[in-house]
Structure 1
Amino acid sequence: MQAVAHRREEPLFRTTVRFGTPLVVAMALGSVFNLVDLFIVAKWKSPEVAVAAVTIGSLVNSIPMIIFNGIVNAMLALIARYHGLGRNKRASVATGQGLILTLLLSLLFGIPPWIFAEPISVALGAKGDVITPATDYLAIMSAGTVTMFLLLTVTGALRAVGNSLVPLILLGGANLFNVILDIWFIFGGFGLPEMGVAGAAWATVVARGIFALAGLALLYRGFLGIKIRRWLWRGQMIRSMLAIGVPSCIQWLVRMAAYLYTLRFVEVAAPKALPHVADAVTNAQAAFGIGLRLDSLALFSGFGWGAAAATLVGQNLGRGRVDRAVRASWIALGLNMAMMCVFAATYVLFADFLLGLMGFDVGVGTAASANADIVHALGRTYLYVASSGFVFLAVAVVLSQALAGAGATKFPLLIEVVAYGAIGYPLTAWAADNAGRFGLRGLWLAAVAIHLAVAIVYVLWFRFGSWARKEIR
């Protein structure tokens, strides 16, 4: 058990590593299994069509997940602060309120994309053979939003009270089971028909649901002092949770919107960058999708250090240990930056190998075609450019989570609205308009520039801002 609550004087570096490492592993496993999921999907019929379809559906479905992280952060901040004060009954109430919001928001965010899956897919660039699988994937994943939200809520509550091993088991188990179901559902067998891309979506929904229920059972039994026997509406606590969570939700929405408008501008830029390629848009979307999946392995692994920072900040502020909260954040940031450098070097040195694993090896394997060569070349360029921004992303991931753990979410929202909205959108649009000169790499360079600017502002605010004086009621 990875408890941190009662080891106040343990060396902070050791505490951060001990608590954060299982979270990093859990997040990394999730991304690894997502890559395996993409690898399996790419083996089903036309790989560029399957990958493009899953990319579009995954990006849209990621919106509610990313937004809901704001509510999870708010719940975590309340639970960690109460736990740090020794008020476990109050922490249990906060968990119950988080679960109420989970159920309500799963309906709010799941129903619209389920109903409008096809027009959403088309609006994001799905064309021809991509439309049907993208629509099916998005509709199924949206209908299963509640399983995703419950798993995030349960693991967030456990992290808040200082346990990082059980979230590792739940998240890792869900992802491993997802891969097993992928093979069965996509290709059929044992009485099930071949479902293709839709099967990948069903596998994810079922796996998440099973392990979310397992986590709920632990909380119901009073695991680590958190007991959720009564789910009564507490207006004041819901308002506190929303006051912290809504700015964080919008912040995550802005981040996700940046990926979505980049996907949209890929559609605009591809014909200009590849004027002699008939399937330029589909190939570019496939390359971008592979790049995003590889990015997610680095980014979501970094969320493990961010989650550690959020918990340690919340608990130490609850005890009045502001100095320890600040130092824990810097330690988590240093660990994440070092890890991101390793990821960046790996992606640059082994880009060809990684793209080959995804089914787009040049002239070899199931995807051997002119399209495979194009996707491979575009994917390699993406990895070379995007990897240079990983260390800047490390800063934003950890410090934004640390601030969320303190309940200070308004200024981070302002940072990201300005950077990714007011500056990032027109900059990316300009890069797309000039794709004939710069190719698709102009889009990737624009993203790296914004990541750098955001990192600088976060460091300055964390160092000189008043976030540590934020009160939570």
Structure 2
Amino acid sequence: MVSFSALLQEGRTPTRREEISAVLALSWPAIVQQLMLTLVQYIDTAMVGSLGPNATASVGVVSSSVWLFNGLLGAAAIGFAVQVAQHIGAGETEQARGVVRESLLFNVLFGLFMGALAVGLSFPLPGLLGAEEAIQPDASWYFRIVGCSMPFLMAINLLSSLLRCMGDTRTPMLYNITLNILNTIFNFLLIYPSREASLFGTTLWLPGAGLGVPGAALGSAFASLLVALLFLRRFFRRGFPLQIHLRDKFRFTKSCLSAMVRIAIPQAMAHTASCGAQIAVTVIAAGLGTQAVAANSLAVTAEALCYQPGYGVSTAATTLVGQAIGAGRRDMAVRFARVSTWLGMAIMTGTGLLMFLFAEPLIGMFTPDVDVMRLGASVLRIEAFAEPLFAASIVASGAFSGAGDTKWSFAANLLSMWGVRLPIALLLIGSLGLTGMWIAMCCELSLKGLVFLWRLRSNRWLDSGTVVVGRERA
């Protein structure tokens, strides 16, 4: 990050090599972090999958709803993080520190609200989503426990975003590795009952609560609480560039909140539109039976390994574009947006190829059911063809967010999900089943990627964003 700051201060145009180096320096820890988060999901899915298709389906039927809630928390985090990036780019350290204080206050209030909402919805949700009666109790408990952990999940999301927009992507990576380790330990203790196991000829007694599906959610909740405390400790530590103190005044300001709303609301609406369509598709898939729901859930989980590197590069794009905008270097914002997008597309082309070649082993990690594995692998191979253009929409959207332009991404996601994916899915699912649903997803992601590339090339996103630097805080 030092090299990028130096480029901003020097006021010169970087070489292509320097651009790629800056993107990679920020991207690789973020990619590792995203992969660690995916690994947490993999471990949850594999451990739950060992309990049988019903357990997998009970998690899968509410997974889109979990994604919806997490996305809303993430949208709020972006609303604050973009402001921090722009203030740092402009050298406005005190204003950046003020944004951090307001974001923490917002985290407490919004996290508790979202948690209470999730707990309230957990009772009727599985039935509303069309889940079979046999899996509804576990699905309800899983979502209820996830709801209770919302304040911790938001803290991790928020503080990770703030650190990344400061240019520190390594700390979130290390803390999320810790999250993964803790999650595995807690899951092992909470999902399975106490039992004996043989290791090198020695019989060991392993303790366990035997909670099954609810144990997976509880393990993740405990891990999230501990890691959220680690993140908070970082921001209160002496010598931290944006250190905060308990004696500081934690209050909202009109300027910061209004900027957060302008950035976050379109982001939240885009995510809601996307998840709403995904939930609608999940309801349709539920009508295909428990096996199809399980295969769909496992394929979605397995695909995350392919696209999460794109989100890592997107994180770098948000930081680089945000700081360039804050420094008044629109030319560098454009260059870094384009380099990041092409780099993300190259990476996800490679991961898409790997996903196509190793689809069955990927799904096989999560379930012993051969029929579920075959169905999940077949739809995963369809999705592999969309990954390069999916990367374009992921990374370009991150670049647009760095400039504070989130309204356009909302409109694009709304139209693509509800105008392309859902109609094609409804058209094909009757004759092709789950395969038809994934063909629809492949078509929608490819078309959306092309549209984002057009927007990136037009440079109109530079004039449509929210810029917060150079103003007094009210």
Question: Structure 1 length as normaliser, TM-score?
Answer: 0.90
Aligned to 1:323: 331
Aligned to 2:400: 403
Q: Does 1:193 find its partner at 2:193?
A: no
Question: 8 Å contact 1:94–1:237 — kept in the other structure?
Answer: yes
Question: 8 Å contact 2:56–2:294 — kept in the other structure?
Answer: yes
Higher mean alpha-carbon deviation, 111-120 vs 304-313, is at 111-120
**1:253 offset after TM fit, Å?**
1.5
Q: Does 1:387 find its partner at 2:390?
A: no
For residue 235 of structure 2, what is the amino acid of its counterpart?
L
For residue 390 of structure 2, what is the amino acid of its counterpart?
L
**1:80 offset after TM fit, Å?**
0.3
**1:235 offset after TM fit, Å?**
2.3
Question: Structure 2 length as normaliser, TM-score?
Answer: 0.90
Q: How does 1:87-106 map to 2 (within 5 A)?
A: 87-106=92-111
Paired residue secondary structure (2:405): coil
Residue segments in structure 2 that go unaligned for 5+ positions in a row: 195-205, 469-474
Question: 8 Å contact 1:74–1:405 — kept in the other structure?
Answer: no
How far does the alpha carbon of each residue in 1:401-434 deviate from its partner, in whole angstroms, 9 at most, with x for none? 11011101111111111111233322322223xx
Q: Which one of 108, 116, 124 corresponds to residue 119 of structure 1?
A: 124
Q: How does 1:347-362 map to 2 (within 5 A)?
A: 347-360=355-368
Aligned to 2:451: 457
**1:58 offset after TM fit, Å?**
2.7
Q: Which one of 434, 439, 443 corresponds to residue 440 of structure 1?
A: 434
Aligned to 2:25: 18
- For residues 384 and 125 of structure 1, the distance between their equivalents in structure 2, rounded to whole angstroms, comes to 27
**1:3 offset after TM fit, Å?**
7.7
For residue 305 of structure 2, what is the amino acid of its counterpart?
L
Paired residue secondary structure (2:123): helix
**1:191 offset after TM fit, Å?**
6.5
**1:64 offset after TM fit, Å?**
1.3
Q: Which one of 160, 181, 204 corresponds to residue 155 of structure 1?
A: 160
**1:146 offset after TM fit, Å?**
0.6
Q: Does 1:256 find its partner at 2:275?
A: yes
**1:126 offset after TM fit, Å?**
1.8
Paired residue secondary structure (1:228): coil
Question: 8 Å contact 2:191–2:214 — kept in the other structure?
Answer: yes
Distance of aligned partners of 1:442 and 1:59 in 2 relative to their CA distance in 1, 3 Å threshold: same
For residue 304 of structure 1, what is the amino acid of its counterpart?
G
Distance of aligned partners of 1:60 and 1:464 in 2 relative to their CA distance in 1, 3 Å threshold: same
Aligned to 1:51: 56
Question: 8 Å contact 1:3–1:162 — kept in the other structure?
Answer: no
Question: 8 Å contact 1:399–1:458 — kept in the other structure?
Answer: yes
- For residues 333 and 263 of structure 1, the distance between their equivalents in structure 2, rounded to whole angstroms, comes to 30
Q: How does 1:115-264 map to 2 (within 5 A)?
A: 115-189=120-194, 193-221=209-237, 224-229=240-245, 230=248, 231-264=250-283
For residue 180 of structure 1, what is the amino acid of its counterpart?
I
Aligned to 1:276: none
- For residues 308 and 276 of structure 2, the distance between their equivalents in structure 1, rounded to whole angstroms, comes to 17
How far does the alpha carbon of each residue in 1:377-413 deviate from its partner, in whole angstroms, 9 at most, with x for none? 2112111111111112101110111101110111111
How far does the alpha carbon of each residue in 1:139-179 deviate from its partner, in whole angstroms, 9 at most, with x for none? 00011111100000111111111111001011221122111
Higher mean alpha-carbon deviation, 291-300 vs 461-470, is at 461-470
Paired residue secondary structure (2:74): helix
Distance of aligned partners of 1:215 and 1:3 in 2 relative to their CA distance in 1, 3 Å threshold: farther
Question: 8 Å contact 1:110–1:144 — kept in the other structure?
Answer: yes
- For residues 176 and 333 of structure 1, the distance between their equivalents in structure 2, rounded to whole angstroms, comes to 31
Q: Which one of 459, 463, 466 corresponds to residue 460 of structure 2?
A: 466
For residue 118 of structure 2, what is the amino acid of its counterpart?
P
**1:259 offset after TM fit, Å?**
2.1
- For residues 49 and 188 of structure 1, the distance between their equivalents in structure 2, rounded to whole angstroms, comes to 18
**1:117 offset after TM fit, Å?**
1.0
Q: Which one of 301, 309, 313 corresponds to residue 321 of structure 2?
A: 313
Paired residue secondary structure (1:195): coil
**1:255 offset after TM fit, Å?**
1.9
Q: How does 1:26-41 map to 2 (within 5 A)?
A: 26-41=33-48
Structure 1 segments of 4+ aligned residues over 6 angstroms from their partners: none
- For residues 236 and 429 of structure 1, the distance between their equivalents in structure 2, rounded to whole angstroms, comes to 44
Q: Which one of 82, 85, 97 corresponds to residue 87 of structure 2?
A: 82
Q: Number of residue pairs matched?
A: 446
How far does the alpha carbon of each residue in 1:421-471 deviate from its partner, in whole angstroms, 9 at most, with x for none? 233322322223xx2x32321111111111122111111112114221334
Q: Does 1:286 find its partner at 2:280?
A: no
- For residues 81 and 5 of structure 1, the distance between their equivalents in structure 2, rounded to whole angstroms, comes to 12
Question: 8 Å contact 1:92–1:226 — kept in the other structure?
Answer: yes
- For residues 91 and 261 of structure 1, the distance between their equivalents in structure 2, rounded to whole angstroms, comes to 40
Q: How does 1:421-432 map to 2 (within 5 A)?
A: 421-432=418-429
How far does the alpha carbon of each residue in 1:15-48 deviate from its partner, in whole angstroms, 9 at most, with x for none? 110111100011011102211221111223xx10
Residue segments in structure 1 that go unaligned for 5+ positions in a row: 271-280, 361-371
Paired residue secondary structure (1:86): coil
Paired residue secondary structure (2:124): helix
- For residues 239 and 425 of structure 2, the distance between their equivalents in structure 1, rounded to whole angstroms, comes to 47
Higher mean alpha-carbon deviation, 57-66 vs 133-142, is at 57-66
- For residues 456 and 462 of structure 1, the distance between their equivalents in structure 2, rounded to whole angstroms, comes to 10
Question: 8 Å contact 1:347–1:387 — kept in the other structure?
Answer: yes
